[in-house]
Structure 1
């Protein structure tokens, strides 16, 4: 009976601290605005708006006639006819094609050599120069469109020359490459949504950050920690109650973010790009499961970092620097061709990124990978929580100044 009563008292103390912190922070408009509105909703809306703008710009360039300045158009009328059939409108020549492209006066410029006609009649190769700027991402579709049309015209004319000489067109292409793209419409969505896991981690971070700062540095600055520690309650129970409150706000922020992506994701014209996007309940449930141990890890790290600050503003600076850490795994997976290994799932943040990307691709996450991800992150969370508990045992934590 004594053991049961002792456990009940411990649970009651933690619950009291938890309810106190949740109730007080729900009254704080700044905390509610940051945790439940600005962070969870603004990110998904801005992300989808940028994706839609980028897709719309690319689709407009594909559907509409493309104006291309052509230097020496009079030397290759048949080439110009072929380009016109492909939706290319030849504009007046420019004096300096390189400068026109660099100044963004034109996406791409064609220059046809003056000896084009003479070389063509002799059956010799002719040269068509294409000026473009590869550093401009918005012109890639226009450059590819013009290049494909010129190459298609070259292949057609080459085949006709061979036929005129009594030869098979296949003579010029002894090896043909048969492309077998194994990407599915759902897996292609990864090309646009490589940074999606970062938004989920940031939702956790922003959701718990105001509480983590206020419940440590904030209370320390207001000198309310010392009276709290004077109560006959073990320090680890106070910490557990505070961490539970931070985790509750973080989970709520993540849930709102997942719901927001599920809603706004329906407005992304993925099908026009040959993609399939599924951000529904199954995806959201998997993300929540993967993120559960990360919630405790981030809450412990935020509390630990904020505990070293003497004021609320100083803690904001420290914790904001910590926010850059979650971007590292997303950046690695977005820009480096990393092949996932089993041990990577046990690395906090990296494992979550890999799992979410697999779910987004439609491959799903294997049971052993899921267990490694949960176990690895939970172990790191317990270590961080233990270090934070040691800080809470120090009397210096309650002293301001």
Structure 2
């Protein structure tokens, strides 16, 4: 292979890539603008919905049919209006009140609409108040009987999480990072690949490549390297965007545990190096596979129709590989895409074995080589290049 010719083709494709609006949108706008915006809006929307549910529960009030003064007193301490309604169930269904309760002997039934956040919030507050009242009554009965309250708690159960913040953060990040990275790698590389194959056919510029001194294999190498660059750029920009978005929006959640998870980003030099080593063979495989498929297309739109289903097929193995509790065996690390998602999760958790990492890396390098050979052979066929 003549590397000066490959470099010239690579530079030409990269220049075309940065001039193409659709490619720039898939490579830059989606990871750097759309992704942070979606995360920010979703987190703030969830926080706003939670706050609105609490406010609406206080405004709507609750309905009660009780006979015990202490129960009514406990409800009044909630700071919400306590109303009288004939049909308690209907009142909740019609949203006349957020929740309702009825005392029948020794049973108190609480009516809530679990599909309504404000009703759920009101029901939780009622159950908390009644639980405190029940504990108070038990303690009073024990005192009157001369029995110490310690009989209620003969021993204490303490739950200790040995995972630590780093591993907890790795669990959360590992679940979603592989799926998002792999999906955006395919979608980010799709437009450059279509443009340098079907797009060249449509513009009648592919013949100029074929008439150049470069061999078919050198042309494929230059074009594939440009596609790999686009895919790796998309992956790195997505990773940086995710880190920034989740870290900057961590205060939007009320959960202290989630704040710590989002604050503790398990990324160091070793982790980053392993991620890059995992993604490079996947990028070569993706670029070569998409290149081979897109060569059959005669126009840009036709190329989209061929590669869009491929990007959708990536979703399932990428998502499944990041699921927690999956028993990892060396055989699973042979499955393309799925193994990359497994490896990314293992890297973020810090429990990936060297054997499994080597198996996945070796398998993906083999798949990448096979895909590149297929792409080269397809490019050497006149029936594929000039398909009518």
Partners of 1:334 and 1:55 lie apart in 2 by 26
1:389 counterpart residue number: 376
Say whether the 8 Å CA contact 1:101–1:132 is kept in structure 2.
Answer: yes
Q: What is the aligned partner in structure 1 of residue 249 from structure 2?
A: 268
In the TM superposition, residue 322 of structure 1 has moved relative to its aligned partner by 1.4
How far, CA to CA, are the matches of 1:331 and 1:96 in structure 2?
47
TM-score by length of structure 1 reads 0.79
Q: Deviations over 1:154-211 (max 9, x none)?
A: 2332343344344455667778754344454455555588433322223322321111
Q: Shift in Å at residue 243 of structure 1?
A: 0.8
| Contact 1:62-1:142 within 8 A present in 2 as well | yes
Q: Does 1:306 align with 2:297?
A: no
* SS of residue paired to 2:345: helix
- Greater shift, 310-319 or 346-355, is seen at 346-355
The residue that corresponds to 1:370 in the other structure is 357
Q: Is the 8 A contact 2:31 2:241 kept in 1?
A: no
1:89 pairs with 2:80: yes
C-alpha separation between the residues in 2 aligned to 1:342 and 1:196? 21
Residue 316 (structure 1) aligned with residue 296 (structure 2): no
Specify the SS of the correspondent of 1:132: coil
Matched, 1:202 2:193: no
String of CA shifts for 1:295-327, please: whole Å, max 9, x gaps.
112112221221222221011122111111232
The DSSP-based 3-state class of the residue aligned with 2:313 is: coil
Find the partner of 2:101 among 106, 111, 115.
111
- Equivalent positions of 1:169-184 (< 5 A) are 178-184=158-164
String of CA shifts for 1:258-289, please: whole Å, max 9, x gaps: 22223222322268412322347526554333
> Which residue does 1:289 correspond to in 2?
277
Question: SS of the counterpart of 2:305?
Answer: helix
Deviation (angstroms), 1:21: 0.9
Shift of 1:46: 0.9
Q: Residues 200 and 257 of structure 1 are in contact (CA less than 8 Å); yes or no, is this contact kept in structure 2?
A: yes
Q: Residues 139 and 219 from structure 1, CA distance in 2 versus in 1: closer, same or farther, beyond 3 angstroms?
A: farther
**Cα distance in structure 1, aligned partners of 2:325 and 2:119:** 25
Where do 1:1-400 residues align within 5 Å?
Answer: 7=1, 10-58=2-50, 66=58, 69-83=61-75, 85=77, 87=78, 89-93=80-84, 97-98=88-89, 101=92, 109-113=99-103, 115=104, 119=105, 125-133=106-114, 135=115, 143-167=123-147, 178-189=158-169, 190=171, 194-269=175-250, 272-273=254-255, 274-275=257-258, 276=260, 277=262, 278-279=264-265, 282=268, 284-332=272-320, 337-361=325-349, 363=350, 365-400=352-387
Would you say the 8 A contact 2:57–2:122 is kept in 1?
no
Residues 17 and 241, structure 1, Cα contact 8 Å, conserved in 2 = yes
Q: 1:261, 1:284 → 2: CA distance?
A: 14
SS of aligned partner of 1:89: coil
Distance 1:304 1:138 in 2: 54
Partner of 1:3: none
> What is the CA–CA distance in structure 1 between the aligned matches of 2:82 and 2:340, rounded to whole Å?
51
Query: Cα offset for 1:244?
Result: 0.2
Is the 1:44–1:257 Cα contact (8 Å) retained in structure 2?
no
Task: Give the CA RMSD over aligned residues.
Answer: 3.5
CA distance in structure 2 between the partners assigned to 1:192 and 1:45 by the alignment: 18
Distance 1:172 1:280, change over 3 A: closer
In the superposition, relative to structure 1, how do residues 27 and 78 fare at CA in structure 2: closer, same or farther (>3 Å)? same
Which residue number in structure 2 is paired with residue 122 of structure 1?
Answer: none
Matched position secondary structure for 1:179: coil
- Structure 1: which 5+ runs fail to align? 1-6, 120-124
* Displacement after TM superposition at 1:342 (Å): 4.2
Higher mean C-alpha displacement, 145-154 vs 301-310: 145-154
Alpha-carbon shift at residue 11 of structure 1 (Å): 1.8
